[in-house]
């Protein structure tokens, strides 16, 4: 099943949460001199044009990144993420939105590496093109990111941030995520693993999170954001979450401040809410 195209959803509330937290985690990893790898199992196209037919169809970015990128009262933690948006759109018009590979590339240092996987036959050539200027620092591979992750671990520098962000168009992805993390922890127990997931009116996301909380790690962080109440017909995504294994230790305290602000900024109705909990090692 390869019908999912992230271009339809680029810059929406889920991207804002995911990419803001990703930028902060990379910033924390950069505080140590030792290099690391960024591994993205479902990298997408890398960058998206918001006035394209795909993005303009639902214009989800209008209630996502469009509410943040020109504000002057952003919490301090949003600086790297929003500056990337401004660098991509120097004329002040919101036209381009970075996917997670471009967010990472903008923050990685010369000694750090990107390892990117994408299976979609249309998105992969776009990913290659968007990473062309990165040279040997970035390696994009056409293939299943769950399978490719096994070959990457443990990484040579023994430091890595892994982002797992499947489309979940196949219900088996919820099980594959848990299995992939179980295997990854055996191969590389000290890695930082960030999993994104949609919040839907179905049991699989909740069941998956409960299973993730039983994985053998000393610390995890779970952050979620709902931007509106569930629809009466039961369809659609009303929020998203991130489950992070071995998170940077300062991230929880930062999110205690920024998540309430982000919830208020992106809220579409009185059903907006957030959740933040952790296991501290």
Structural domain includes residue 1:
no
User: Would you please indicate which residues are annotated as catalytic (active-site) residues?
Assistant: 165
Q: Mapping DSSP to helix (H, G, I), strand (E, B) and coil, where does residue 39 land? A: strand
Structural domain includes residue 62:
yes
Paired tokens of 232 = 């009466």
What does pTM read for this prediction?
A: 0.95
Question: E strand or H helix at 239, and its extent?
Answer: strand 239-245
- Using CA of residue 173, residue 179, residue 184, residue 187, what is the dihedral sign? negative
What CATH number does the domain containing 163 carry?
A: 3.40.50.150
Q: Mapping DSSP to helix (H, G, I), strand (E, B) and coil, where does residue 53 land? A: helix
Q: What span, in angstroms and rounded, lies between the C-alpha atoms of 270 and 228? A: 7
pLDDT of residue 62: 92
Tens-binned pLDDT, residue by residue, of the chain (281 aa): 444 556 778 999 999 999 999 999 999 999 999 999 999 999 999 999 998 766 566 789 999 999 999 888 999 889 889 999 999 999 989 999 999 999 999 999 999 999 999 999 999 999 999 999 888 999 999 999 999 999 999 999 999 999 999 999 888 999 999 999 999 999 999 999 999 999 998 899 999 999 999 999 999 999 999 999 988 776 788 999 999 999 999 999 999 999 999 999 999 999 999 999 999 97
pLDDT of residue 236: 80
Structural domain includes residue 249:
yes
pLDDT of residue 75: 92
Q: What span, in angstroms and rounded, lies between the C-alpha atoms of 82 and 84? A: 5
Residue 158 domain boundaries:
6-279
Place of tokens 């919101």: 94
pLDDT of residue 1: 46
- Number of domain units in the chain: 1
């Amino acid at each position: 099943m390869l019908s999912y195209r992230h271009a339809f959803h680029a810059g929406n509330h889920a991207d804002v949460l995911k990419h803001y937290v990703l930028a902060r985690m990379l910033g924390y990893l950069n505080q140590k001199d030792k290099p690391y790898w960024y591994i993205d199992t479902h990298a997408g196209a890398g960058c998206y044009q918001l006035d394209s037919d795909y993005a303009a169809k639902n214009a989800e970015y209008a209630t996502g990144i469009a509410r943040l990128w020109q504000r002057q009262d952003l919490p301090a933690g949003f600086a790297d993420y929003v500056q990337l948006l401004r660098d991509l759109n120097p004329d002040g018009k919101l036209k381009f939105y970075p996917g997670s590979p471009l967010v990472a590339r903008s923050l990685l240092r010369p000694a750090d590496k990107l390892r990117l996987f994408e299976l979609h036959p249309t998105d992969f050539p776009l990913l290659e093109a968007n990473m062309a200027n990165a040279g040997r620092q970035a390696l994009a591979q056409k293939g299943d990111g769950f399978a490719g992750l096994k070959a990457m671990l443990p990484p040579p520098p023994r430091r890595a941030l892994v982002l797992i962000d499947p489309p979940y168009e196949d219900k088996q992805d919820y099980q594959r995520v848990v299995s992939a993390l179980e295997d990854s922890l055996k191969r590389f127990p000290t890695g930082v693993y960030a999993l994104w997931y949609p919040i839907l009116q179905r049991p699989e996301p909740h069941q998956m999170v409960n299973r993730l909380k039983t994985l053998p790690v000393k610390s995890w962080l779970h952050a979620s954001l709902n931007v509106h109440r569930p629809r009466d017909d039961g369809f659609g995504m009303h929020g998203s979450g991130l489950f992070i294994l071995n998170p940077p230790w300062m991230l929880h305290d930062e999110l205690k401040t920024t998540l309430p602000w982000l919830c208020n900024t992106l809220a579409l109705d009185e059903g907006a809410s957030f959740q933040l909990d952790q296991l501290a090692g």
